[in-house]
Amino acid sequence: MTVSTGSTTEKVRVRFCPSPTGSPHVGFARAALYNWAFARHHGGTFVFRIEDTDKERSTEESYEAMVGTLQWLGLDWDEGPLVGGDYGPYRQSERSDLYLDVLAKLAASSYTYDCYCTTEEAAARRKAAGSKVQGYDGFCRDLSEEQRAAFVAEGRTPIVRFRMPDGAVTWDDLVRGEVSFETEFVPDFALCRANGDPLYTLVNPVDDALMRITHVLRGEDLLSSTPRQIPLHRALVDLGISEGVPEFGHLPLIMGEGNKKLSKRDPQSHLWNYRDEGFLPEGLLNYLALLGWAIAADRDVFSLEEMVEAFDIKDVNPNPARFDTKKCQAINAAHMHQLSVEEVTDRALPFLKRDGVLTDPVSPADQQLLELAMPFVAERVNKLTEVSDMLRFLFIDEADFEVDETDRAKLVDTDDGQAVVQASYDALARVEPWSAARISDVLTETLVEDMGLKPRVAFGPVRVAVTGRRVSPPLFESLELLGRGRSLGRLQSALG
């Protein structure tokens, strides 16, 4: 079928079909995002399918993580797990009958043949023939009944292979333009195991056909499987199983530091790490979108809605991109700063509880204190976990209050530091009323004017003694929120 991506002549149907074999990584999210954005842009359907044909490697835990990740990211699907759809089931492990049926039809029309060779035998023949081509050599393509019987008598069980046509397979890749493979380099591939279990090579195209997928957008790592899938799709069309061959677009890979494909082992690639560190889904998605696509020449912070509006698969860059944690953080920070204080508070709440800063449920007093404190921190954090770091001093029990050792040694446990803390203690004891403005006046008068200290030198020790760190919300406001009693208590403990 020919579906124009510019002016959609028929309903766009795309799918995202991960294998549940590990924890979701950034490539997973980017592929999901592009498919989702493409579907939404064209008013099409986004299908979520689980490719769990490999029983050895697929796990339920991973399946749940994949579903949970898409939910967390806010990439909603129209058909798939949890929501169903007209082309279900959407887990391949539940579709075995469908595959067996297709396999039988393919065999009946000689699109496939039984192969009795072992991988080693085929490789040995290739080597003996001095062939540069790897993979199966088509030995069993036209076996006689006698040969077949002989293999069976040896106790061999066949696998099914697809008969690759001669010539070249060429397609107009949505991202790369014309791509062509000579089929002499594409061996007849296996469609199922000797035990009858269907393989990815069969089920992926079959499901795309059965689910009426119009556009396949996937990673470049699958580029070389496309010359195998297109002939299979054509066979399915010929047999009346499919309505047409989908269009293909191969997305650039996301590379890690060493310019290698980001591996599942790399902690930088795991999505949950970003969630747990307090990245915003929209921030992460925005950054991921940038890896291969730009919304405009002079802008890189945008919302999902804006992306849907502007996304065109033809604008996707074919070259692989390096994942840059710093830029990812910067984009996330931009999204954080676009949120209102109330929104940052809502989003930070689970982190504050997780980190033990707040109790669950939050007490009315803490809730009030939180609302007073958030305006001072919301604008200075880049990710949600930083809220916990900034606010811990305010909510923690005095018994558990700790001062950073390094900061303490450097700023408080020095002669100058001790003098500042002592003077501050004496001055603050008499401050009336206990307000940020008065505290500011008194401390400035005492430390800066009377003692002749530079502001940054003067307030450093006080900040560390009272908040436990050199980085904190504004000092005077922090003191006001902490209250006179706790403030003086902490200053006192910092002495000696």
Active site residues: 264
**Shortest distance, position 456 Cβ to RNA, whole Å:** 4
Joined together, the tokens standing for residue 377 give 């921190």
User: How far is 366 from 142, CA to CA, in rounded Å?
Assistant: 79
User: How far is 299 from 416, CA to CA, in rounded Å?
Assistant: 48
Q: Closer to RNA at the Cβ: 59 or 363?
A: 59
By the 8 A CB rule, do 173 and 250 touch? Answer: yes
Q: Closer to RNA at the Cβ: 74 or 455?
A: 455
Q: Provide the sign of the torsion angle of the four alpha carbons 476, 479, 480, 485, taken in this order.
A: negative
**Shortest distance, position 11 Cβ to RNA, whole Å:** 25
Q: Closer to RNA at the Cβ: 12 or 203?
A: 203
Q: How far is CA 142 from CA 146, 161, 194, 256, 419, in A?
A: 11, 12, 19, 46, 95
Task: Tell me which H or E stretch contains 161.
Answer: strand 159-162
By the 8 A CB rule, do 160 and 191 touch? Answer: yes
Name, in order, each residue with C-beta under 8 angstroms of 446's C-beta and a sequence gap of 6 or more: 423, 424, 426, 427
Q: Closer to RNA at the Cβ: 362 or 474?
A: 474
**Shortest distance, position 359 Cβ to RNA, whole Å:** 26
**Shortest distance, position 185 Cβ to RNA, whole Å:** 4
**Given strand 190-192, what is the order of strands in its sheet?**
112-115, 159-162, 190-192
Q: Closer to RNA at the Cβ: 288 or 349?
A: 288
3-state helix, strand, coil in the chain (%, to 5): 50, 10, 40
> Which residue is it, tokens 């020095």?
414
Q: Closer to RNA at the Cβ: 132 or 496?
A: 132
- Which stretches of 157-225 are DSSP H helices? 200-210
**Shortest distance, position 51 Cβ to RNA, whole Å:** 3
Cis previous bond, 361, omega within 30: yes
**Shortest distance, position 364 Cβ to RNA, whole Å:** 27
By the 8 A CB rule, do 45 and 39 touch? Answer: yes
